[in-house]
Amino acid sequence: MVTTTNTYQTTRSHELFERAKTLMPGGVSSPVRAFKSVGADPVFIARAQGAYLWDVDGNRYIDYIGTWGPAIVGHAHPEVQQALISAIPNGTSFGAPSCQENVLAQMVIDAVPSIEMVRFVNSGTEACMSAIRLARAYTGREKLIKFSGCYHGHGDLFLVQAGSGVATLGLPDSPGVPSAVTAHTLTVPYNDLPALNAMLAQYPDSIAAVILEPVVGNAGCILPQPGFLAGVRELTHQYGALLIFDEVMTGFRLAYGGAQERFGMDPDLTCLGKIIGGGLPVGAYGGKQAIMEMVAPAGPVYQAGTLSGNPLAMTAGIKTLELLQKPGTYAYLDQITAQLTEGLLDVARATGHTICANQVGAMTSIFFCAGPVTSYETAKASDREKFGRFHRGMMAEGVYLAPSQFEAWFLSTAHTAADIDQTLQAARRVLSQIPQ
Ligand SMILES: *Cc1c(COP(=O)(O)O)cnc(C)c1O
């Protein structure tokens, strides 16, 4: 099948985006959707099904964003849809306990090795903010250590610029965030155990928690190097700090039990989101019972939510997790994602481009540099201008990629070998048009 780029029209999307910009800041409800970093305008999506998106101009795309992770069984899966349709007549929100919460809580506890108790919230941002509050209460300490390039939502305490000098000072990287709030947030480079050790040694009795993405998805896909996660676990034990795995992206993606199952790790607290809501707004945090029982009303740490544990979100989450339990799910995701990643490396070689790739399970990224990319600092070596050209070319070919060099790509069980083949053929055409 030959896709001709000169028929690619986005007139209606363009009109809608112009209008949206007068109604909402930047025309979007979340910044990365505006496609600014790839020098393009976004398309407006009319419909999503399986591995595909259709925009308002009728273009179809093979989707490698999957609504930033949740669509791991494909968009609008018929069984998820049916579960939601059956749930709607019972009401969309109760503001009271419901049995669906018990079901999903039990599923999360059974799945994620370190979680003994869980609290549902409405987003990954809330999960991370709440986990830090809890860690501070539990340890009676105030400081936290994060890693540059890791994203933990838009809570004030996480908006700290990564970068050597500024890092230790904990200066906020968004106006509107008081420096008093971020003064307790310390940043070290990912995959750098000596730097973490030095930071802990500098504040031996003040670090409440070390939080990280066990596989980074928010600086492009970056893998923990062998021994890194185990080293972080050892150091946090040594200094009496809690270890928080932010598995909002990796939970139920890298394995049914998340990165901690895949890498055999035992964090104290875990943040979840994305997949566990099956495409509806959900987050969760959980961990050891002795820590979780400090959360109100069992304990004194306040945290609440009008729509938390929402019955529709629980329903979509339950059905999505049930679908993921089918034997062979994760082997298939690994295989199809490896096929895409290795294919892209081949295509780049054939067209004379230097790229490197990081992949684990159904998460992957290519970087336009020789690599290896092991941190946000090394990811910045990528040729972002070239990535922008690649992205725009792939859109015109009907392939919808994350609109930034610093975002991972996500595959789903709905992606087929034929989708990967089409994607690779498109990549070959696009890369051969881009000067090396
Ligand atoms: C997406 C994400 C968040 C934030 O979740 P929201 O639901 O967007 O608030 C936090 N941490 C990680 C690792 C994420 O990928």
DSSP string, 421-436: HHHHHHHHHHHHHS--
CA of 422 to the centre of ligand 1 (A): 30
Atom of ligand 1 nearest to the CA of 128: 10
Of 143, 274, 319, 386, which one is the catalytic site residue?
Answer: 274
Report which of 253, 271, 254, 294 is spatially closest to residue 137, judged by C-alpha positions. Answer: 294
Whether residue 63 lies in the annotated active site: no
Alpha-carbon gap, residue 122 to 307, rounded angstroms: 7
CA of 275 to the centre of ligand 1 (A): 11
Choosing from 249, 276, 365 the residue with most ligand 1 atoms within 8 A of its CB, the one to mutate for a pocket test is: 249
Mean pLDDT by 10 residues, the chain (436 residues): 66 98 96 90 97 98 97 98 98 97 98 97 98 98 95 90 45 82 93 98 98 95 97 98 98 98 98 98 98 98 98 98 98 98 98 97 97 93 95 98 94 98 98 95
CA 56, distance to chain mean position in Å, is: 26
What is the structure's pLDDT at 173?
Answer: 75
Nearest CA to ligand 1 atom 5: 124
What is the structure's pLDDT at 172?
Answer: 76
Q: Has domain 11-64+327-433 been given CATH number 3.90.1150.10?
A: yes
Segments of the chain assigned to CATH 3.40.640.10: 78-324
401 Cβ neighbours under 8 A, 6+ residues apart: 64, 65, 391, 394, 395, 409
Report which of 262, 208, 284, 263 is spatially closest to residue 240, judged by C-alpha positions. Answer: 208
Ligand 1 is surrounded, with C-beta below 6 A, by: 123-125, 128, 151-153, 213, 217-218, 246, 248-249, 273, 283
Whether residue 151 lies in the annotated active site: yes
- β-sheet with 269-273: strand ranges across: 117-121, 283-287, 269-273, 242-246, 207-212, 143-147, 185-188
Whether residue 57 lies in the annotated active site: no
What is the structure's pLDDT at 170?
Answer: 63
- β-sheet with 399-400: strand ranges across: 45-49, 52-55, 60-63, 399-400
Written as one letter, the residue type at 333 is L
Q: Which tokens in the block code for residue 372?
A: 């290896």
What is the structure's pLDDT at 161?
Answer: 55
pTM over 0.85: yes
CA of 64 to the centre of ligand 1 (A): 17
Of 61, 151, 239, 330, which one is the catalytic site residue?
Answer: 151
170 Cβ neighbours under 8 A, 6+ residues apart: 160, 179, 182, 183, 184, 185, 186, 187
What is the structure's pLDDT at 168?
Answer: 45
Q: What is the CATH number of domain 78-324?
A: 3.40.640.10
346: left (phi over 0), alpha (psi -120 to 50) or beta: alpha
Segments of the chain assigned to CATH 3.90.1150.10: 11-64+327-433
Give the single-character DSSP code of 241.
-
Atom of ligand 1 nearest to the CA of 218: 15
Report which of 270, 229, 265 is spatially closest to residue 247, judged by C-alpha positions. Answer: 270
Contact 191, 122 (CB under 8 A): no
- The CA dihedral of 293, 298, 299, 305, to the nearest 10 degrees, is 100
Choosing from 151, 157, 410 the residue with most ligand 1 atoms within 8 A of its CB, the one to mutate for a pocket test is: 151
Backbone angles phi, psi at 404, to 5 degrees: -165, 145
CA of 127 to the centre of ligand 1 (A): 9
Atom of ligand 1 nearest to the CA of 247: 13
DSSP string, 38-78: GTSPPPPEEEEEBTEEEETTS-EEEESSGGGTT-TT-BT-H
Report which of 374, 276, 393, 271 is spatially closest to residue 324, judged by C-alpha positions. Answer: 276
DSSP string, 298-336: TSSB----TTTT-HHHHHHHHHHHHHHTSTTHHHHHHHH
Atom of ligand 1 nearest to the CA of 153: 4
Nearest CA to ligand 1 atom 8: 124
Atom of ligand 1 nearest to the CA of 150: 13
Q: Which tokens in the block code for residue 8?
A: 């690619």
